[in-house]
Structures are given as C-alpha cells and as structure tokens.
Structure 1
Amino acid sequence: MTRRRAVLCVRVAVLAALVILLELCCRTGIIDPLTVIAPSDMVASMVDLIGSGELNESIASTFSTIALAFVLAIGLGTLAGALIHRSPRLRDVSDPLLASYYSVPTFIFYPLLVALLGLGKPPLVVLGVLSAAPAVMISTLSGLDSVSSVLIKMARVHRLNRARTLWWIVLPAALPRLFTGFKLALSYALIGVIAGEFILSGTGLGYAISFAYQSFDNRAMYGVMLFVMLVAVTANGILYVWEGRLARRRSAR
C-alpha cells in the first residue's frame, strides 16, 4: 500500500469512527435531537428530499452559480496573478493587500452588490468570485515564484516564444501550486454563494437551509446540509485525484 492510500484509509477510518460516535450519542440521548439529529436520519432526510424533487430547482440554481463563480475566479485570479508577477512595483503594493484580504469578511459587500446588481444570481456570482479569486491569485504568484530560472533560460536557448514558454515550461512547473489555489477557490466559491443565499436570497440551497432553520425543521435542515457537504467533498476529491494524476505524469517524463 502506498503512503498516499494509507493516509486516505486513516482519514476514512477516523471519519467513520466520528460518525459512529455521533450516531451513538444521538441514539442514547446524550445529544438532544433538537440540537443535532442522528447521521442515519440525515441520510434518510437527504434521500427523501432529493427523491421527492423538492430540491431540484435549488440544486440547479446553487451549483450553476457556484460553477460560474469558480470558473470566473480561476480565470480572473490566474490572469491577475500573472500580471502582478510581471510587475515588481505592483507586487510590492498587492502583497500586503492579499495577505490581509481574508481578514475582512466579503459578505459586508453583499448589500452594495444588491444595490448595484439587484436581487438574483449576479450578486451571488460576484460574491463567490470575491471570495475565491484572491486564493487563486496567491497560488498563482507562489507557483510562478517556484519556477526555476534555469527552466526559463533553457526556453530562451531553444528560442521558444512567450506562449510556448508559458505552455511548455511555466505552467507545468507551477501546476502543483496552482492546483492548491483551485481547490481553495472551489471551497471559497461554495462558501460565498451558500452564505449569500442564506443571508439574502429567495432560492438555492442556502435559502433552503435558512428556511428549514427558521421553521425549526431540523430534519430538512440537516438533510440539505449533508447534501451540500457531500457534493463539496466529492468535487474536492475529484480535483485531488486529478492533481495526483498530473503529478505522476509529470514525474514520469
């Protein structure tokens, strides 16, 4: 068994143990069901909600918004990071701003975004991009910094133009750091969109969670929460597997 698989098995075992412990605590009354319901009840609620079709519209609205925010964050964040990396003066100005960016909650801009863009999907997309793009910018800067100057000199020796140097030399060398930013961007985009729906929206999974909470419907609330969590973990797992495959291809060359 490889070290990577061993770590994965340990993580799964720890998670399974925690779920079993929570199930026992809920079933024995140690944890009040008004606070947390048993994991098995969460799964049953999630299956019922999805099977009934009640969440179809919310699922389509939320995940289309997250996907759009994620793609825009990757594109804009990577481009901005590359431009900042090329300008030392701009780098000196942006570094402290990026370092302190997440100390300010992006949700404070939501009222302004609603006033400028109105209710609906646009402010949620912008909020997701504002949450995710800085992580991509930071990872892009870190990735470009990690590219060895020897590789750049080799590209010049072979008379590669900027486009080929970027595609064949720079991106493969910076890819591990870039993927770290992509994984963070997915998480931040999901958090930004779900939280935006929770605060001020009439549709989406965030609104469904908020409505169930205000209605004291713990079963529905935890069912939707479990669904969102499983989708997020699955999406990050796909990126994790993809990152590993690219790393193995790179090392095999």
Structure 2
Amino acid sequence: MTRGRAVLAVRVAVLAGCVLLLEILCRIGVINPLTVIPPSDMVASMIEHVGSGDLDDNMIQTFSTIATAFVLAVALGTASGALLHRSSRLRDVVDPLLASYYSVPTFIFYPLLVALFALGKTPLVVLGVLSATPAVMMSTLAGLDGVPRVLLKLARAQRLGPGRTFCWIVLPAALPRLFTGFKLALSYALIGVIAGEFLLSATGLGYAISFAYQSFDNRAMYGLMLFVLLVAVVANGCLYSWEGRLARRRAGR
C-alpha cells in the first residue's frame, strides 16, 4: 500500500469511528435527540428530502449561485493576482489589505448588497465572490512568485513570446499553488452563499436549513446539513483528483 492510500485509509477509519461513536451515544441516550440525532437518521432524512423532489428548485438555486460565484472568483482572482505580480508598487499597497481581509466578516455587506441589487441571486453571487476572490489572488501571487527564474531565462533564450512563456512555463510551474486557491475559493464561495441564504433569503438550501431550524425540525435540518456537507466534500474531492492527475502528468507518470 502506498503512503497516500495508507493516509486515506487512516482518515476514513478515524471518521468512521467518530460517526459510530456518535451513533452509539445518540442511541443510548447520552446525547439528547433534541440536540443531535443519530447519523443513521441524518442519512435517512437526507435521502427522504432530496429524493422527494421538493427541494429541486432550492438545490438548483444554491448550486448555480455557488458555481457562478466560484467561476467569477477564479477569473477575477487570477487576473488580479497576475496584475499585482507585475506591479510592485501596487502590490505594496494591496498586500496588507489582503493579509487582513478575512478578519472582516463579508456577511456584514449583505444588507448593502440587497439595497444595491435588491433581493435575488445577484447579492448572493457578489457575496460569494467577495468571500472567495482574495484566496485566489493570494494563491496566484504565491504561485507566480515561486516560478524559478531559470525557467524564465530559458524562455527568453528560446525566444518564446509572452503567450507561449505563460502557457508553457509560468502556468505549469504555478499550477500547484493555483489549485490551492481554487480549493479555498470553492469552500469560501459555498460558505458565503449558504450563509447568505440562511440569513436573508427566501430560497435555496440555506433558507431550507434555516426554516427547519426555526421550526424545530431537527431531522430535516440535519439531513439537509449532511447533504450540503457531502456535496462540498465531493466537489473538493474532484478538485483534489484533478490536481493529482495534473501533478502525475507533470512528473511523466
């Protein structure tokens, strides 16, 4: 067994052990069912609510909003990071702001976004973009900073144009750091959109979770929470898998 598979097996075993322990504690009454329901009931509730079709519109609303925010954050963050990397003076101004950006909760801007764009999908997209873009910018800067100078000298020696230098030299060298930013962007976009729906929205999975919470419907609430968690894990797993394939291709395996 390779080291990576061994680490994955340990992670799965630890997670399964924690889930089993929670199941036992809930079943024997150590944990109050009004606080947390057994994991098996969460799975049953998730299958029931997702399979019923009643949440189809909410799922489409939430996942399309997250996807839009993620794509915009990746595009804006990558372009902005590349621009900052080319301008040292501008970077000196922006770097402190990026370093302290996440100390300010972006959710506080949601009422302002509603006032500017009215209720609907647009404020949630903007909130997701505001949450995710700085992570992409920082990873882009780190990736471009990490490109070996010798590779750039080699590109000049081979008389490669800017476009070929970027596609053949800079992008492959910076890609590992870029993927780190992409994974963070997906997480931040999901958090921003779900939180926005939870607080000030009348549609989406965040709203459905909030409605179940306010209705004291723990079974529905935990089922929907589990569904969102699984979707996030699967989406990040796809990015990890894609990143691994690119790394193996670079290594010639």
Structure 1 residue 198 displacement after superposition: 0.3
Corresponding residue for 1:12?
A: 12
Corresponding residue for 2:128?
A: 128
Equivalent runs, 1:163-174 vs 2, <5 Å: 163-174=163-174
Structure 1 residue 172 displacement after superposition: 0.2
The reply on whether 1:67 has 2:67 as its aligned counterpart is yes
Structure 1 residue 54 displacement after superposition: 1.2
Partner SS for 1:37: coil
Equivalent runs, 1:68-217 vs 2, <5 Å: 68-217=68-217
> Which runs of 5 or more residues in structure 2 are unaligned?
none
> Which runs of 5 or more residues in structure 1 are unaligned?
none
Q: Give runs of ≥4 in structure 1 deviating > 6 Å.
A: none
What amino acid sits opposite 1:243 in the alignment?
E
Distance 1:102 1:11 in 2: 29
Identity, % of aligned positions: 77
Corresponding residue for 1:249?
A: 249
Distance 2:244 2:126 in 1: 31
Please list the CA deviations of residues 144-189 of structure 1 after superposition, one character each: whole Å capped at 9, or x if unmatched.
Answer: 0000010001001111111110000000000000000000000000
Please list the CA deviations of residues 61-96 of structure 1 after superposition, one character each: whole Å capped at 9, or x if unmatched.
Answer: 000000000000000000000000000001111111
What amino acid sits opposite 1:13 in the alignment?
A
TM-score, normalised with respect to structure 1: 0.99
| Mean CA deviation greater in 50-59 or 179-188 | 50-59
Distance 2:127 2:94 in 1: 20
What amino acid sits opposite 1:234 in the alignment?
V
Structure 1 residue 143 displacement after superposition: 0.2
Corresponding residue for 2:224?
A: 224
Distance 1:227 1:70 in 2: 19
Structure 1 residue 3 displacement after superposition: 1.1
TM-score, normalised with respect to structure 2: 0.99
Equivalent runs, 1:25-64 vs 2, <5 Å: 25-64=25-64
Partner SS for 2:202: coil
Distance 2:7 2:162 in 1: 40
Structure 1 residue 50 displacement after superposition: 1.1
Count of matched residue positions in the alignment of Structure 1 and Structure 2? 253
